[in-house]
Amino acid sequence: MSIFAGVSGVLNGVFGASVTITPDGEAARAIQAVFRENPVTVPDGDGREIVTVLPVLSVPRDVEASLASGTVVEPGNGRTYQVVNGLPSGSPADDGFTIYELEEIDP
């Protein structure tokens, strides 16, 4: 058992909110997750760095099996996204988060 066990659940309870997900071929349902739009730097066409926003969804590992590339995500901000990629958070805890990179789509 890791000293970090349970921390993800506390963080999800404090910072998370209800997010509607629609996995491919399944009905929409609500999960508790943490949605963020993180600033990142990327090169522009001329090689200069610009700051843009990368939407991500942090989901407890016990929910992650239902999220795959193409899953539709509606975090309640009036926009619709789809999952592009999922990466483990690096937490050694069994209940850690998986972080999903999202891209905005037309609903």
User: What is residue 8's predicted lDDT score, i.e. its pLDDT?
Assistant: 58
The domains of the chain, with CATH numbers, are 7-105 (2.40.10)
30-83 pLDDT tens trace: 998 989 998 999 899 898 999 999 999 998 887 666 788 999 999 999 999 999
Higher pLDDT, 67 or 8: 67
Q: What residue has token string 């999220």?
A: 67
**Residue 20: exposure state from Cβ atoms within 10 A (0-12, 13-18, ≥19):** middle
User: What is residue 77's predicted lDDT score, i.e. its pLDDT?
Assistant: 94
Q: Rounded to two decimals, what is the model's pTM?
A: 0.79
